Structure 1
């Protein structure tokens, strides 16, 4: 069975709309592909370790899909393991914006309360990939992203396949329209 490993963003989860849309698409159009979406820890080092454990349990390499902060994690994994990745409005250098995230938070999907500190910022900085291999990636960017500047990702992943959806935001409402292309991208990267 083929697998897609979806890494959700900060304060998101397996119940997010994009995950639900992706799971519905696979059920209808690719029933031989399973979507895996672990509820990632809010702490970056543990989130990446969780994703690594999922990867270690798979017989075949998956397609990575990472949204926002999950795109940052997917980049680290794609480079480490030579995996294809679809990045949805990915965070590029989250450690540089971390001052706004110190302290207590609550995940609206899980209700989990957590506190982020310097160890979390340092973990993000340690994961940073300065020169990603463009051959691994397809970036899907919304030009009206209200959370992250899409142009930073476009520059950081220069040479990678990129789709910029004009007037789409961080949520990326047109994600379902791209899923047939994501399936072709995954098929094109199978060994």
Structure 2
């Protein structure tokens, strides 16, 4: 069966992000670009999850989630609910708390589209917190230099999971190109 990747981008991001581009090129170079699914997620958490679940339910064959930042938060909830594996890149661990400071008008970094981020969205995020995780499902990739999220929260939350923790870097996860072999192996590609 054909293995696929469902990539879940972060808050105010899109399929035009740097990491998606690097991953797509790597898969295209292998003749496997068709294995990458990366929808433009709604800024509304419930809608983003509904989008991802529609893809999960329509897939035939193995599917691995790859989530960056808020996408990592979503990937954790989805992995536990649908018994999937997930690679997490500088994931948001306490999204309802860390995103509180972004209430109000936000602009997508790639499309320029604006949206209102509200308390109702924070409540939706609270409902998506996975109370427990299954360590064997996850590959955690974090950089200590992440200026947006504290990497230690992720290391603690995903204790017992396969972890790749690097000095330096930033929230974009600068070592992403170097980690592609491990990521693709984890995804069964």
Indicate the TM-score class for this superposition, using the shorter chain for normalisation.
Answer: over 0.9
**Corresponding residue for residue 72 of structure 2:** 71
Post-superposition offset of 1:166 = 1.0
SS at the partner of 2:61? coil
Asked if structure 1 preserves the Cα contact closer than 8 Å seen for 2:3 and 2:187, the reply is: no
**Corresponding residue for residue 176 of structure 2:** 175
**Superposition TM-score, scaled by structure 2 size:** 0.95
**Corresponding residue for residue 25 of structure 1:** 26
Matched, 1:126 2:127: yes
Post-superposition offset of 1:29 = 2.9
- 1:123-160 CA distance string (max 9 Å, x none): 10000012211110000000100000000010011100
SS at the partner of 1:131? coil
Mapped partners of 1:109, 1:120: distance in 2: 21
Post-superposition offset of 1:40 = 0.4
SS at the partner of 1:152? helix
- 1:93-146 CA distance string (max 9 Å, x none): 111233312111111212211101121011100000122111100000001000
Q: What stretches of structure 1 move > 3 A for 4+ residues in a row?
A: none
**Superposition TM-score, scaled by structure 1 size:** 0.94
**Corresponding residue for residue 154 of structure 2:** 153
CA gap of 1:148–1:113, structure 2 versus 1, over 3 A, is same
Asked if structure 2 preserves the Cα contact closer than 8 Å seen for 1:88 and 1:139, the reply is: yes
SS at the partner of 2:99? helix
SS at the partner of 1:6? strand
**Corresponding residue for residue 42 of structure 2:** 41
- In the comparison of the two structures, how many residue pairs are matched? 188
Mapped partners of 1:180, 1:164: distance in 2: 16
Mapped partners of 2:125, 2:166: distance in 1: 27
Mapped partners of 2:177, 2:34: distance in 1: 16
SS at the partner of 1:65? strand
**Corresponding residue for residue 118 of structure 2:** 117
CA gap of 1:61–1:170, structure 2 versus 1, over 3 A, is same
What residue ranges of structure 2 are gaps of 5+ in the alignment? none
